[in-house]
Chain A
């Protein structure tokens, strides 16, 4: 019977060859053995990690690799924070319609008493849109948009709004019209920025037909614009 116990590497032996292992100076058999030891022995793994860490701190390491795009789980959460749900699924629709309906009743109630709907009548003619990069992080840039048509829900249950800008660099990008609903939820409707007929400005027409309430202006305080670079 061969004497197996004597032939397995010890922690001291591993510690002695660690430098050579890192520099790839060992004979072909040794690295295989050292690898097993480091991967399965906690103490030696600690020592190895310390060695790597100190080599990084001292700067004797590889060049920087550019930071890749945000992983999907962070990007998805960011998008949700910025834009809320994008108006495209049945599930979202059923939930959001209920929320919008409650908002509409409040506005209609004010109108019945002869008061102007909140926000209506003193809406800004010019609004600023934040620019979000591909991973939905706000950039420093802001784009000014002129409100061509006030955001409103028409008698046919269609949400309409029209915005234009003289900044031509965002042609083909998406404009997100984001409604902040009660209970801190958000809902976005996207429209493409297209050049107008005279080629001096970009126009985005927001239009969504599936709203089940009628004739309501959307108060200026509850919506925001974002330009998406994705």
Chain B
């Protein structure tokens, strides 16, 4: 499909060659981006928007790479994998942004969704994300302790919402989420602060300082700040 002449024309920055590339490859890459994002986003409008943005950004990147002479592709396969990588990384960024935007707040409120299952999924997403940070990033021990206490409080609330006779070890957080009726689940910020102060044996002032550090840490890790 493409040969050295084409590469040469792109390298010289000929806009017509870039537009030909656009016409030739757009559908293939769009199909990839669409299938890539579809399992992540149920809302069709958001899905199409994310895919379209990813496509535009990837082609802009291609355009810049070609006109600035930053990339030298030796073969079609090389070129193809470069483009797919571009699209993939852009899709991941956009999906992270999109999912973060939808589920920013923990544990003050559960973001409003019509569908109870969707709300369960969101809650699971948030908690898995906290676990992921705990497992894969090096956090100062004080913050680990605080975050674990927060999760413990979430679990306590979940147990109350599901069945108060359960013991904390009998079910995992995710099993609890599977069973809760979302409307029965409530998190109270003040109550949580009281719980954390007792659990960590610290004053309110120290707790607030730690919470700020925790928010700052998450921000640095590329997560959006927590609203607690």
B-contact bits for A3-44, CB 8 A (1 contact / 0 none) = 011011100000000000110100111111101110110000
Chain A residues whose CB sits within 8 angstroms of the CB of B121 once the complex forms: 28-29, 31-32
What are 28 of the A-B contact pairs (CB < 8 Å)?
A1-B152, A4-B131, A4-B135, A4-B148, A5-B134, A7-B172, A8-B132, A29-B174, A30-B124, A31-B39, A33-B128, A35-B99, A36-B132, A40-B132, A45-B88, A45-B92, A49-B84, A56-B31, A64-B27, A65-B31, A67-B22, A67-B26, A74-B63, A77-B15, A78-B16, A81-B14, A135-B19, A138-B16
**Quick check: A78 and B19 within 8 Å, CB to CB?**
yes
Residue in chain A with minimal CB distance to B25 = A67
B106 within 8 Å of A (CB atoms)? no
**Quick check: A7 and B16 within 8 Å, CB to CB?**
no
Most buried by B among A9, A48, A49, A55: A49
Known A2-B151, A32-B128, A39-B95: A62·B19 in contact at CB below 8 Å: no
For the complex, give the distance between the alpha carbons of A8 and B127 in Å. Answer: 9
For the complex, give the distance between the alpha carbons of A31 and B173 in Å. Answer: 15
**Quick check: A37 and B128 within 8 Å, CB to CB?**
yes
> B151: shortest Cβ distance to chain A, in Å?
6
> B167: shortest Cβ distance to chain A, in Å?
11
Cross-interface CB contact of B128 among A9, A49, A53, cutoff 8 Å:
A9
Chain B residues whose CB sits within 8 angstroms of the CB of A5 once the complex forms: 134-135
**Quick check: B92 and A65 within 8 Å, CB to CB?**
no
Chain A residues whose CB sits within 8 angstroms of the CB of B30 once the complex forms: 65
A156 within 8 Å of B (CB atoms)? no
B193 within 8 Å of A (CB atoms)? no
**Quick check: A74 and B59 within 8 Å, CB to CB?**
yes
> B57: shortest Cβ distance to chain A, in Å?
10
Chain A residues whose CB sits within 8 angstroms of the CB of B40 once the complex forms: 35, 39
The 4 closest A-B pairs by CB, nearest first: A32-B124, A32-B125, A28-B117, A8-B131
For the complex, give the distance between the alpha carbons of A61 and B34 in Å. Answer: 10
Chain B residues whose CB sits within 8 angstroms of the CB of A29 once the complex forms: 120-121, 124, 174, 177-178
A52 within 8 Å of B (CB atoms)? yes
For the complex, give the distance between the alpha carbons of A27 and B124 in Å. Answer: 11
A126 within 8 Å of B (CB atoms)? no
Known A32-B125, A52-B35: A67·B23 in contact at CB below 8 Å: yes
Cross-interface CB contact of B129 among A27, A28, A36, A53, cutoff 8 Å:
A36
A70 within 8 Å of B (CB atoms)? yes
Q: A4-B148, A28-B178, A53-B32 are known; give 7 further A-B pairs, CB within 8 A.
A: A9-B128, A28-B121, A29-B178, A32-B124, A62-B31, A74-B63, A81-B16
Interface of chain B, main secondary structure: helix
Residue in chain A with minimal CB distance to B223 = A40
For the complex, give the distance between the alpha carbons of A31 and B39 in Å. Answer: 9
Known A5-B135, A27-B178, A74-B59: A36·B36 in contact at CB below 8 Å: no
Chain B residues whose CB sits within 8 angstroms of the CB of A61 once the complex forms: 31, 35
**Quick check: B63 and A73 within 8 Å, CB to CB?**
yes
> A81: shortest Cβ distance to chain B, in Å?
5
Chain A residues whose CB sits within 8 angstroms of the CB of B28 once the complex forms: 56
For the complex, give the distance between the alpha carbons of A53 and B31 in Å. Answer: 9
**Quick check: A8 and B19 within 8 Å, CB to CB?**
no
> B216: shortest Cβ distance to chain A, in Å?
19
For the complex, give the distance between the alpha carbons of A199 and B169 in Å. Answer: 89
A137 within 8 Å of B (CB atoms)? yes
Chain A residues whose CB sits within 8 angstroms of the CB of B16 once the complex forms: 78, 81, 137-138
**Quick check: A65 and B27 within 8 Å, CB to CB?**
yes
For the complex, give the distance between the alpha carbons of A87 and B68 in Å. Answer: 28
Chain A residues whose CB sits within 8 angstroms of the CB of B34 once the complex forms: 62, 65
Known A1-B148, A7-B131: A74·B31 in contact at CB below 8 Å: no
> A83: shortest Cβ distance to chain B, in Å?
12
**Quick check: A39 and B32 within 8 Å, CB to CB?**
no
A-contact bits for B89-128, CB 8 A (1 contact / 0 none) = 0001001100100000000000000000110111111101
